[in-house]
Structure 1
């Protein structure tokens, strides 16, 4: 088989992997997406998409389809978890949209994933394969060969590891391990009719307090209400599930505002999500192998940028594949040169913001609240670096 006939192999069929396949197809490259699950799908609940992510979805021709499922919040609101006082507001209205070119949206993760999946299924340049637990990746003169847990092999002309937080592909670049933040999340959506009339359907609300927070917003055209409860466990034990339990959640949130207590009463308690990230690494590329999304830069979710950064990756990688043609090594090096500093900044900023919203000592809390209260709702300087990123669109339609 001649090298030209081989595909790019994408390991992982999540948001990042599917977006990568769409980006590669846009510039004329065939891809095969290898997903470990028996079917393509997305677990979890809501996801927030800043204008930097919406720009990529629009590039791939998906903005209209996404908007059928999305909710367009008017404000991001930080509230005190005990008093319900509004500490800070970011106005997401016309000025925000005009400045960044796209709206801020919230939607169900499964809706976003399905739109990406359907676009991949319709694309003749993309092959989707399930039940693929990739064990090894080896590069030789013939290409890059991926071997799965059954011993089956796929040889492509390049490999992109989009296989998430516990990426096997990352082991070729770093022997680091995921870092547990000692925080857990409990997530869930409930039907909008179950929500009390006090809930503001136009806002993304983040209730904050010492070592804890709750996020609430509507999803799926406003039919469902998404809630995420997050707290730091005092009982953290490595290699154990016996920490961050629902019982501990009830203790930690004792005395919070009645609206937050109501949220807790609806939350699904069966699945706890321990929260991990990793330190940024200085290199993701070796020969014709590179990393993307959480495999490259897993981050804590305090800036709601995990999925957004994977989409940015996919878009910029497509530009570099277009620019460098069949020279994948050069394309991957150019891709990471742009993306590593950007994503490392987001990873570190997410950690920092987590520290700010979860502040425990009275002086830090007073200082934070005083500064937040002085910020105008239409003051965008603090977020400009995040939402004003245009690198992933520079070469569109060129």
Structure 2
């Protein structure tokens, strides 16, 4: 039986483990933290994510934990004007074959973790930080910070935006710092005025800032995420932020959005980072996946979705004939995935620049442009991303 080693036990790593084990491989997942757990707050899942989750066998488990929202709503953050909205119920689900949902990151992670624990061919090892790899024309070996060595026919680097596997494979240094700071808070829904408990993902766009909120935890909590284009030059992750500081960063926010922002407590901040798309994802029997391969800004809400897609494609290619030629299977995987993920990376950047942060006349022009799309026009605009069932951009 073929052995696969996966560096990283996040969403992408666990999804890859499930997919590759289903293809007949034994799998060892090496996670740097002692415990397998997912940190963070809310996450959005498009129909393409559910297509992948269904193929991984965990779609229903995630649906049981998800909130199925009615629309994506775009608001002018300073005037309070409703610019446009994309309905996500009947016609949307019929066209794209699955719902659009929001979940706490843990509510996506846990079903994947449960699936790994239930599979006798998957071994989960915490407290093993992968720092590099070795190979010599044959199997690939993950090397950990304590000198441990784990050898497999294939090594998958799913170890995040600062991937050690990527650094050895590509040597392209630190991620690109976007200059955008995001502040996040999760609050109980019973603290939200009833008239503001919208079953939507709502985005308020302003000059060099935007504010997003939506329900998670089965509707028991409201996820708040406020982003400022402040030129931040140093990458930070999950650092506590004073409530007064957060409120002071968004002085032009309209009354309704301001009322929601003021509900936030125990804020934490991140400086958003990504990388440029690259053509090289593989080195012999080593390949990258998820944020290690194509880290993207959050603005297209596709980071986790595309990692799930990666996992499904990888598992499909490593089964059958792929097991006899793992290096070739990895090359085919990269060739199938890199065009679609590169487009998602670049679209996410441009959404931040052109849609979320314009000011003055540029903001007015944006509002007019978005309002002119209509429902079908909005569906057409996202079809390449939300509607994919092949995960290669072919629809």
TM-score scaled to structure 1, two decimals?
Answer: 0.93
Paired residue for 1:34?
30
Change (3 A) 1:90 1:133: same
Change (3 A) 1:28 1:240: closer
Q: Secondary structure at the match of 2:280?
A: coil
Question: What CA deviation, in whole Å up to 9, does each residue of 1:122-144 have, x standing for no partner?
Answer: 01111100001111200125621
Q: Comparing 297-306 with 55-64, which one deviates more in the overlay? A: 55-64
Aligned to 2:355: 357
Counting only pairs closer than 5 Å after superposition, residues 163-202 of structure 1 correspond to structure 2 as: 163-176=159-172, 177-202=174-199
Q: Deviations over 1:26-63 (max 9, x none)?
A: 11111100000110111110110000000011112212
Change (3 A) 1:388 1:107: same
Q: Is the 8 A contact 2:74 2:84 kept in 1?
A: yes
Are 2:252 and 1:255 aligned?
Answer: yes
Shift of 1:110: 0.7
1:189 counterpart SS class:
strand
Distance 1:201 1:182, change over 3 A: same
Structure 2 residue aligned with 1:372: 370
| Residues 340, 392 of structure 2: 8 Å contact kept | no
Structure 1 runs (4+) greater than 3 angstroms displaced: 237-241, 243-249, 358-361
Mapping for residues 1-398 of structure 1, pairs under 5 Å: 4=1, 7-141=3-137, 143-176=139-172, 177-234=174-231, 236-238=232-234, 246=242, 248-322=245-319, 323-379=321-377, 380-392=379-391
Matched residues, number: 388
Using the size of structure 2 for normalisation, the TM-score is 0.93
Give a deviation string over 1:73-115, Cα, whole Å, max 9, x none: 0100001112221111101011111111100011100111011
Assess if the C-alpha contact under 8 Å between 1:187 and 1:268 holds in 2.
no
Judged with a 3 Å threshold, the aligned counterparts in structure 2 of structure 1 residues 256 and 83 are, in CA distance, closer, same or farther, namely same
RMSD over equivalenced CA pairs, Å: 2.0
Alpha-carbon contact 1:183-1:244 (below 8 Å) kept: no
What CA distance in whole angstroms lies between the structure 1 residues aligned with 2:180 and 2:100? 26
Find the aligned partners of 1:393 and 1:117 in 2 and give their Cα distance: 26
Gaps of 5+ in 1: none
State the shift of 1:155 in Å. 1.2
Q: CA deviation at 1:240?
A: 8.0
The 1:164/1:118 distance shift into structure 2, 3 A limit, reads: same
Q: CA deviation at 1:198?
A: 2.6
CA distance in 1, matches of 2:136, 2:287: 15
Contact 2:32 2:126 in 1 (8 A): yes
Change (3 A) 1:393 1:174: closer
**Which deviates more, 109-118 or 76-85?**
76-85
Report the Cα offset of residue 201 of structure 1.
2.7
Looking at structure 1, the residues matched to 288 and 296 of structure 2 have their Cα atoms a distance apart, in angstroms, of: 15
Q: Could you tell me how far 1:237 is from its partner in structure 2? A: 4.1
Unpaired segments ≥5 residues, structure 2: none
State the secondary structure of the residue aligned to 2:354. helix
Q: Deviations over 1:164-218 (max 9, x none)?
A: 0111010133222201111111112111101112324321101111111111111
**Secondary structure of the corresponding residue to residue 280 of structure 1:** coil
Aligned counterparts of 1:314 and 1:278: Cα–Cα separation in 2: 20
What SS does structure 1 have at the residue aligned with 2:67?
coil
Which stretch has the larger CA shift, 213-222 or 168-177? 168-177
Question: Which range moves more in the overlay, 18-27 or 166-175?
Answer: 166-175
